[in-house]
Structure 1
Amino acid sequence: MAFSAHRRAGVLATATAALTLTLTGTHATAAEPSRAAVPPLPRGHDVSSHQKRVDFARARARGARFAYVKATESTTYRNPYFAGQYDGARRAGLVRGAYHFALPNRSSGARQAAYFVRHGGNWRADGRTLPPALDIEYNPYDKRHKCYGLSHRQMVRWIWSFSDEVRRETGRRPVIYTTANWWNACTGRSRAFAASHALWVAGHGSSSPGKLPAGWRYWTFWQYGVKGRLPGDQDLFNGSVNRLRAFALGR
């Protein structure tokens, strides 16, 4: 999918200028820009079983406009709170989507994608459903093997396998959530995905996402903190609310 104009570099510069961050310890929470600033970017959050039963109506009242909900991990785990979180976000009026936590050493990308789509990772063009997202990052179960024991070529093939299966089943390429450090180290600085995959970059404790993974010139979502005014991790969308809805529709 070709990226829309709102995610180009000029918008990134405007978005960064509109955002100020206040730091609390090692975590960043977004502060409201001044009245003279351009309108703030849409806030959102991502949640998993750690947040259990989320009050999305309260989150919306506190500024949330979108949410990503963890659905699955590998081919053996399903978030037991997924249905309540996913449906609850929609009932509260949020644009919401599902994400999958990748474990590339457990099974193929295609198998994990199929499992994800069957258990919440589907997409429909209703303007309220974000495309499925792939969370691919450091190995939380074995810090000695942050790249899951895969070579650069194997990792790139795994991600394409996942992406191709998601597109086959849903019609959308997945959003890729990652960090610049992990991506560059574990894919060998692959630039192959930037032209067709929206970036959800994690970068905490600063007033901008910082250096992006190889290939991408702009971000679509930015996870800027792990706690703040909304339940779960704190995110921004790089555009207006109207552009968020258009992105959900695939435009």
Structure 2
Amino acid sequence: MKYPILLALTTLASALPQKRATPQGIDVSSYQPNVDWTTVKNNGISFVYIKATEGTDYVSPSFSNQYIGATNAGLIRGGYHFAHPDLSSGATQADYFLAHGGGWSADGITLPGALDIEYNPSGSECYGLTASSMVSWIQSFSNTYEAATGRYPIIYTTTDWWTTCTGNSAAFGTTNPLWIAIYSSSVGTLPAGWQYETFWQYADTGSNPGDADLFNGDAAGLSR
């Protein structure tokens, strides 16, 4: 993501030999402005999440070119929004995301938008919100996105942050797919409410640009 996940775990370069048959992906932002998408595709990458927005005043200058490049290379792709719950409401940020690349369409190649909600890069870990206020903020974002697209957004987070800042809320496990970030050989304990992860960001480096991800399923499931 735009900011490194603050985990005290070492990235494992060969952490997932048992899961290599599952669709592999990456996520990128303006930190990777010039991606060779043909090479990425040839390396076996099937999908990509691309940073689109942050708060209500930032649109990634790389988003458009990255999105077009990934599309032209034949990758399944989607946008993500880095949340700043301290700056404006969830609904306001969802609308901003939707207006700047975060939309969804049933074309078979567009992933639902993702809400990147994690450690505050420049202040209080939980953005000054109580656990109940944080849950309400996420619900506001999620409901606004679903009302506009018919799909609930993916939630990207870590178990540690989720437990600390939402009180380990189980409110989203039956609606929002989970994209878990944990740099280890297994996903470990998931946040409450989710029985499994849909995406797993398992490393912040690799042979491709950006972070390394896996889809929990097969190619047909990813397309669905």
Query: What is the TM-score of this pair, normalised by structure 1?
Result: 0.83
Q: Could you tell me which of 12, 16, 19 is aligned with 1:28?
A: 12
User: 1:101 and 2:76 equivalent?
Assistant: no
The aligned residue for residue 70 of structure 1 is 51
Alignment partner of 2:22 out of 26, 32, 41: 41
Deviations 1:79-126 (A, max 9, x none): 001000011111111100000000000000000000000000000001
- 8 Å CA contact 2:15–2:185 kept in 1: the answer is no
Structure 2: gaps spanning 5 or more residues: 1-8
Runs of 4+ in structure 1 displaced over 2 angstroms?
28-33
2:5 maps to what in 1?
Answer: none
Aligned to 1:7: none
- The residue that corresponds to 1:156 in the other structure is 135
Change (3 A) 1:30 1:117: farther
- The range that moved more, 206-215 or 46-55, is 206-215
Indicate the SS of the match to 2:217.
coil
Aligned partner of 1:229 in structure 2 is 207
Native 8 Å contact 1:29 1:234 kept in 2: no
Number of aligned residue pairs: 216
Where do 1:49-64 residues align within 5 Å? 49-64=30-45
Name the CA distance, whole Å, in 1 between partners of 2:166 and 2:16.
36
Q: Give the alignment's Cα RMSD to 1 decimal.
A: 1.4
Q: CA offsets, 1:209-248, max 9 Å, x none?
A: 11111111100000000000111000000000111001xx
Using the alignment, how far apart are the partners of 1:210 and 1:202 within structure 2?
10
Distance 2:179 2:39 in 1: 24
**8 Å CA contact retained: 2:108, 2:223:** yes
Q: Read off the aligned partner of 1:183 and give its amino acid letter.
A: W
Give 5+ residue unaligned stretches, structure 1: 1-24, 247-251
Retained in 1: the 8 A contact 2:205–2:211?
A: yes
State the identity %: 55
AA paired with 2:54?
E
Structure possessing the higher radius of gyration over alpha carbons: 1
Q: TM-score, normalised by structure 2?
A: 0.93
2:216 is the counterpart of 1:238? yes
Letter aligned with residue 81 of structure 1: S
- Residue 189 of structure 2: which of 194, 211, 217 is its match? 211
Q: Structure 1 CA distance, aligned partners of 2:122 and 2:192?
A: 25
Q: Work out the CA distance in 2 between the residues paired with 1:213 and 1:192.
A: 10
